[in-house]
A and B are shown apart, each in its own frame.
Chain A
Amino acid sequence: MKRSIKTYILAALIFLFLGVFLYFVGGDELKYQTISTEMEDASSVLPEISEGVEVRQNLIIENDILEKISIRMATYARTNTGILTLSLVDKKSGEALEQHQVDVSLLPGDTLYEWEFEEPLENCKGREMILTAGATSPAGSGITFYMNQNISDGNLSVNNEMISGIVCYSLQEKTSYWFGEYYWYIVAGLVGAVELYLLYSDWAEKKGRVTFIVHMKGIWNRYGFLIRQLVSRDFKTKYKRSALGYLWSFLNPLLSMLVQYIVFSTLFKSDIENFPVYLLTGIVLFNFFSDAVGQGLGAIVINAALITKVYVPKYIYPVTKVASSSINLLISIIPLFIVMLLTGQPFRKSLLLLPFPLICLLVFCIGMSLLLSSSMVFFRDTQYLWGIVSLAWTYATPIFYPADIIPEKFILIQKLNPMYHYIRFTRELLIAGVSPSIQEYAYCIIFSVGMLAIGALVFKKTQDKFILYI
């Protein structure tokens, strides 16, 4: 009884800790969704904004919080003088909300000027505001805004005179999620659900039924030693006869990154922030995936001699193959950190979330291995097919090219590619240094759990027939 109370408290503490951890590391990205409104195409420019000219553009804010206004400005390809004053006024009350001054002499030609508020404006949803711009520039040395002439909605005026058109601007707004609002309720609900499950499990055990968690505990007690032995066997024998040994886990991704870096840097370098880290993240994750699945695929067939003699739950073989590949993954994370250091990439707290995409990827690989290793028993073609599929998969995943060069018609394929999500998630943690949005978490979880469910189901349905075919 004492032991089970300990388990309850421990489980609650673990989940609470994870909840608090995610809250602080994930930060705003989990609570809010950032939306940038579409900017109209520029077809013309406004009159010059010089002394005495006042531009007014009416805006309607659609979301709770307004953070930033970006305006496309033109300089007439000359150096200008004076101060441009931007201000934001509430249309109804006339209250001045924000004001900002720009030294126009510093503006480069055709630029997207980003006016970020010091404090985001809250409670904006549905409010009408007026963006006004005036300047102290003498005529002939002022700047102006781009606009789209074709949209005439009566919201743009210069010196109180309506003109047809709309300024090329974009609003960066934020809306809070239900997820962020109810975050602590969700955490509490999860903890409650776990506790209830443990209670149920204990109750069922007394009744002589075995729940999943009790079953897993039994498996670990009985086969834990075997699992450890199999994993250490795979790991020990991987580089057994090579001179550099484990160092290869470290060198392999580094060297292949170097080759690809030299080849592709001329093609894509300018488009991608910190290309070496971008590339290496893709390589490390994808190598793990193809290695783990490639190993897991043959796990049943290779161990045929054992499977026909000794009873061991058969899924242990593919699962241990993936587990031993994951040790390699951990080693190859080291060069990733080294390259981050060398390229001056700051280590931010978002790095602490790195286990999340890795665990999701691991679960995904286990699912794939279960599926393919059972398919391999019946059709040996699986291994050759997998060779082709994994090659196609490599190219379909943005490893060395930027994700946004994918043409519109293939976007759906990209969205359905789990590897794209895992790699993108990791890159966001490492390069952008922020937690991805909550949808990205959901994608990662759905793909992993879905794949595991499919793999486990197929494996379970077919495993009794393995022995007849191996």
Chain B
Amino acid sequence: MIKVEHVSMKFRMANDKVMSLKEFLVAVLKRRLTYEEFQVLDDISFEVKKGEVVGIIGKNGAGKSTLLKIIAGVMKPTSGKVTANGNIVPMLELGSGFDPELNGRENIFLNGAILGYSQEFLQEKYDEILEFSELGQFIDMPIRNYSSGMMMRLAFSIATVVQPEILIVDEILAVGDEGFQNKSKARMMELMSGGTTVLFVSHSLKQIEEMCDRVIWLDNHKIKMIGETKEVCRAYEEYWMQ
């Protein structure tokens, strides 16, 4: 389903991120525009089978998010290859695909389109999304008036209404009140048992243990360990104990 082969990612970082023409010219003139090679991922290879739920853990800056971006196709690796069969749906951060001026209904279609759903599909699933989000009459209100919880409920409902073939989740499960959290967890479970392949990044070992079949532990830009959830989690915990 997903095949990651010898993926390496290097950033060429200028001493300072040059953001303006003036800074750039000054730096060039002073010959201070030296670059630093910065290795984010170093020869990563693994495979994920269809329907598997794979967790990715590791320290901050270990390269987890970069790896997800490469798999999602928004970033090109410096070397190596990623093949993914099936449509990839990323779970967007709090409302990043929303427009605050539009109402909930219009945002469902906008956000759905960004995630790659078709118009017919969204029309068919509209009621289901509305019901799951528990927004009721608020759906016709511009979402700039929504609370962050309401917005997140809407985003979650849109992202999970399909059975995406590959779902990418970058820590966003703590959504809404207790009730909605349980509901969304149940929805995730349902998705995972329904054959969706899930890549899941989290710092919460509890969540990982609950949901994942396998875990990849990234450390120092390499795969430190890959295997059964329990084993990897135990090793990870021990690592932090030291």
Residues of A that sit less than 8 Å from B by CB: 222, 225-226, 228-230, 233, 236-237, 240-241, 305-312, 378-381, 385, 464, 467-469
Given contacts A310-B74, A468-B11, contact A233 B99 (CB under 8 A): yes
The chain B residue with its CB closest to the CB of A375 is B21
B97 touches A306 (CB 8 A): yes
Does any Cβ of A come within 8 Å of B134's Cβ?
A: no
Which of B110-118, B212-220, B234-242 is found at the contact surface with chain A?
A: B110-118
Residues of A within 8 A of B11 (CB): 468
User: Which of B20, B92, B118 makes the CB contact (< 8 A) with A309?
Assistant: B92
A233 touches B69 (CB 8 A): no
Given contacts A380-B19, A468-B11, contact A240 B119 (CB under 8 A): no
A379 touches B24 (CB 8 A): yes
- How far apart are B179's CB and chain A's nearest CB, in angstroms? 27
A309 touches B19 (CB 8 A): no
* Interface of B: prevailing SS: loop
Residues of B within 8 A of A226 (CB): 113-114, 116
- How far apart are A222's CB and chain B's nearest CB, in angstroms? 8
Does any Cβ of A come within 8 Å of B96's Cβ?
A: yes
User: Which of A237, A305, A312 makes the CB contact (< 8 A) with B93?
Assistant: A305
Chain B CB within 10 Å — which of A230, A233, A469 has the most?
Answer: A233
User: Which of A229, A312, A381, A467 makes the CB contact (< 8 A) with B109?
Assistant: A229
- How far apart are A157's CB and chain B's nearest CB, in angstroms? 70
Alpha-carbon distance A288/B109, docked complex (angstroms): 28
A240 touches B101 (CB 8 A): yes
Alpha-carbon distance A228/B119, docked complex (angstroms): 10
Alpha-carbon distance A307/B69, docked complex (angstroms): 10
- How far apart are A462's CB and chain B's nearest CB, in angstroms? 13
User: Which of B88, B106, B116 makes the CB contact (< 8 A) with A236?
Assistant: B106
A241 touches B101 (CB 8 A): yes
User: Which of B21, B113, B119 makes the CB contact (< 8 A) with A379?
Assistant: B21
B114 touches A379 (CB 8 A): no
User: Which of B21, B74, B101, B110 makes the CB contact (< 8 A) with A308?
Assistant: B74
The chain A residue with its CB closest to the CB of B17 is A469
Alpha-carbon distance A379/B106, docked complex (angstroms): 33
Alpha-carbon distance A230/B99, docked complex (angstroms): 10
Residues of B within 8 A of A310 (CB): 72, 74, 90, 92, 97, 114-116
The chain B residue with its CB closest to the CB of A307 is B74
A225 touches B119 (CB 8 A): yes
Alpha-carbon distance A172/B114, docked complex (angstroms): 60
The number of residue pairs between A and B whose CB atoms lie closer than 8 Å in the complex comes to 76
CB pairs A–B below 8 angstroms (13 shown): A229-B109, A233-B106, A236-B101, A240-B101, A305-B96, A306-B97, A309-B72, A309-B92, A310-B92, A310-B114, A380-B20, A385-B21, A467-B74
A309 touches B90 (CB 8 A): yes
User: Which of A225, A237, A380 makes the CB contact (< 8 A) with B113?
Assistant: A225
Residues of B within 8 A of A222 (CB): 116
A467 touches B75 (CB 8 A): yes
Given contacts A237-B101, A306-B97, A464-B76, contact A229 B113 (CB under 8 A): yes
Residues of A within 8 A of B22 (CB): 381
Does any Cβ of A come within 8 Å of B102's Cβ?
A: yes
Residues of B within 8 A of A307 (CB): 74
Does any Cβ of A come within 8 Å of B73's Cβ?
A: yes
Residues of B within 8 A of A464 (CB): 76
Residues of A within 8 A of B119 (CB): 225
Residues of A within 8 A of B97 (CB): 305-306, 310
Residues of A within 8 A of B92 (CB): 305-306, 309-310
- How far apart are A353's CB and chain B's nearest CB, in angstroms? 35
B102 touches A236 (CB 8 A): yes
Residues of B within 8 A of A228 (CB): 113
Alpha-carbon distance A36/B55, docked complex (angstroms): 80
Residues of B within 8 A of A381 (CB): 20-22
B72 touches A311 (CB 8 A): yes
- How far apart are A250's CB and chain B's nearest CB, in angstroms? 21
Alpha-carbon distance A189/B12, docked complex (angstroms): 50
Alpha-carbon distance A230/B106, docked complex (angstroms): 11
Chain B CB within 10 Å — which of A229, A379, A467 has the most?
Answer: A229
Residues of B within 8 A of A306 (CB): 92, 96-97, 114
Residues of A within 8 A of B20 (CB): 379-381
A311 touches B93 (CB 8 A): no
Residues of B within 8 A of A230 (CB): 110, 113
